[in-house]
Structure 1
């Protein structure tokens, strides 16, 4: 039951983040500057900076994992 609850929490948080990010990137540029909706979002430039940072961090983690697997498999063969 714990796994199912964790899965539901992860799914709900992912959906909420997707909706928030979609509103921030797609809808916010068409909203007036004095609208109250702008107070819920940071500056528009942060959206691209956060995205680039997450892509670089994710790629780095994947490459380090692949490197460690290759190194450990080479040690096991010898």
Structure 2
């Protein structure tokens, strides 16, 4: 198996685990007694909103930084082409 395929399979397993963990945390855990041993494997419920919001904000920040860098590089390329003509 090639390296890129094994990385892809690993990413699928990680994404599946995160989806399953979050789904159990949000949809099933509120109906389980708070004194149950299962509760110790999950964060408090208020993080169920805070963590995805934080991830959304960070991903938006990184996309914005990436787009900004690409625009700056393209502008610099165009300036260097105009100077060479």
Say yes or no: TM over 0.5: yes
Give the Å deviation of 1:32. Answer: 1.5
* Alignment: residue pair count: 78
User: Partner of 2:16 in structure 1?
Assistant: 15
Q: Distance in 1 between matches of 2:55 and 2:63?
A: 12
Q: Distance in 2 between matches of 1:14 and 1:32?
A: 27
Q: List, as ranges, runs of 4+ consecutive aligned residues in structure 1 with deviation greater than 3 Å.
A: none
Q: Whose Rg is larger? A: 2
User: Partner of 1:76 in structure 2?
Assistant: 77
For the aligned residue pairs, the C-alpha RMSD in angstroms reads: 1.0
Give the Å deviation of 1:65. Answer: 0.6
TM-score (norm 1): 0.92
**Unpaired segments ≥5 residues, structure 1:** none
